[in-house]
Amino acid sequence: MMKLLNLFIAASIPVLKVLLITALGSYLALPRIHILGQDARKHLNEVVFYVFNPALVSSNLAETITYDNMVKMWFMPLNILLTFVVGSLLGWIVIQLTNPPSHLRGLILGCCSAGNLGNIFLIIIPAVCKEKGTPFEASEDCTTYGMAYASLSMATGAIFLWSYVYNIVRISSRSSTTEPRFIDLPISSRCSEGSAVEEPLIQNQPLDDSSKKLLVLEEDADSCSPPCIRTQLRPKVPTAVRIGAFVKSLNLKSLFAPSTIGAIAGFAIGLIPQIRNLMIGTDAPLRLIDDSAALLGNGAIPTVTLIIGGNLLKGLRGSELKKSIVISIVLARYIVLPLTGILIVRGAVKFGLVESDPLYMFVLLLQFAVPPAMNIGTITQLFGAGETECSVIMLWTYVLASVSLTFWSTLFMWLVA
């Protein structure tokens, strides 16, 4: 019982750190303080997107990733891919059950699939390595290897986030602004000439007499023009054409978002010995570049956490978001995903895909239990769609994360001990 209590205390410390910084961000965003107002958060988001996040990803990868580490951690990118696949499936189920507006579907899929795979780990891993009573305290290299795991998790998560979630939020935000195309047809011409094709508002099939749904405009009392039929034209589009249009609509430039470019640079520096010797180490001739990137990257975690605290304040004011959507996302992220993660990781260990390293297994398990990625808020602000709803979702998921993360971290450490 005492060992379990020690694990619980060790798991709660990093979560409390995140909550304290988040609370400070909410305080700074109060109207009477107005340091982190809406405009300030928007500008800070752009700085984080273009400067802090790429510097953080590249510097951490360059310093901690080596060829030997990559061979050992080959399963981690696959594990993260599985979190996105399972999360997307759960998000699709949430959409089917709650029937949200079209502009929120990408947000729901993103919140269910994309977890906070970077900032949370950079806070939790060093904390659990320092705490007594954890399965990792006996390892002298706990922090070093832990930062390597956290860096690879952050880099891989950033690639999936900006290539997948960015595009689905962008597409759903655009679809909400697309209005159906209507035409007005006079009744007399339709009946006499038979040139108008009657089509339903939803299906692409002719209407029978019992289910006609035509919007008839009343004839103006002072006008001699006949009444009109307003109908929606939706020509049938071949499936191949639809698939081609969807692929063309994908913003492939987002694959090379600043964070992705930072990840590529970090991998190149860490894995190529000649470049690594030039930039990494106390005697490296170009160590100034890495030190500068690390200095910028250190500002990413507190800045993003402060921004999310300011955004949570907007969530406190409420919105028209259905409670069932928030509850479903919480159940998906904090119950179904972690249970699925236990099955996947323990199965990988059983079949020899993952070494029985307690810290490595802990990180793999924790990737299924973290709250939604903070950068989802940045994405919604970039497109100006679902910002308030995202704030509400982030509010409740991060408030409940204090309980969920503590519980799952304690359980995971007990499982890998």
Q: Facing residues of 184 across strands?
A: 230
Q: Provide CB contacts within 8 A for 375, sequence distance 6+.
A: 49, 53, 158, 161, 162, 304
Say how far apart CA 272 and CA 67 lie, in whole Å: 8
pLDDT given for residue 139 in this prediction: 59
Count of C-beta atoms within a 10 Å radius of residue 356: 9
Residue 325, domain member (yes or no)? yes
Cβ contacts of 192-200, under 8 Å, gap ≥ 24: 196/229, 196/231, 197/233, 198/231, 199/231, 199/232, 199/233, 199/234
Tens of pLDDT, residue by residue over 354-384, are: 888 888 999 999 999 999 987 887 788 777 7
SS3 for 220?
A: coil
Report the phi/psi class of residue 132: left, alpha or beta, with left for phi > 0 and alpha for psi in -120 to 50.
beta
Say how far apart CA 60 and CA 266 lie, in whole Å: 7
Of 409, 414, 417, residue with least CA distance to 127: 409
Residue 380: burial class (beta carbons within 10 Å; 0-12, 13-18, 19+): buried
For the chain, the domain total comes to 1
Amino acid at residue number 140: E
Distance of CA 218 to CAs 196, 207, 221, Å?
19, 22, 9
| φ, ψ (nearest 5 deg) of residue 230 | -105, 115
Residue 367 tokens, joined: 């990737």
372 DSSP 8-state letter: B
pLDDT given for residue 222 in this prediction: 45
SS3 for 100?
A: coil
| φ, ψ (nearest 5 deg) of residue 394 | -65, -40
Residue 220, domain member (yes or no)? no
Domain residues for the domain of 291 are: 1-175+250-416
115 DSSP 8-state letter: B
Residue 185, domain member (yes or no)? no
SS3 for 125?
A: helix
Tens of pLDDT, residue by residue over 224-234, are: 444 444 444 44
Q: Provide CB contacts within 8 A for 21, sequence distance 6+.
A: 302, 305, 306, 309
Look at strands 228-232 and 182-186 and give their pairing: antiparallel
Say how far apart CA 242 and CA 337 lie, in whole Å: 32
Q: Facing residues of 228 across strands?
A: 186
pTM exceeds 0.85: no
Distance of CA 379 to CAs 22, 23, 173, 412, Å?
19, 22, 11, 31
Is the CB of residue 363 less than 8 Å from the CB of residue 149?
Answer: yes
Cβ contacts of 353-356, under 8 Å, gap ≥ 24: 353/75, 354/75, 355/72
Rounded-to-10 torsion of CA 406, 329, 87, 152: -40
Is the CB of residue 375 less than 8 Å from the CB of residue 89?
Answer: no
CATH of the domain at 311: 1.20.1530.20
Of 335, 280, 307, 301, residue with least CA distance to 391: 307
Amino acid at residue number 253: K
The low-confidence residues of the chain, meaning pLDDT below 50, are 178-204, 207, 210-234
CA 262 to chain centre: 18
Residue 272, domain member (yes or no)? yes
Is the CB of residue 25 less than 8 Å from the CB of residue 306?
Answer: yes
Residue 207, domain member (yes or no)? no
Look at strands 215-216 and 228-232 and give their pairing: antiparallel
Alpha helices in 185-317 (DSSP H): 187-193, 239-249, 258-271, 273-279, 287-297, 300-316
| φ, ψ (nearest 5 deg) of residue 203 | -95, 160
Residue 191, domain member (yes or no)? no
Residue 294, domain member (yes or no)? yes
Residue 239, domain member (yes or no)? no
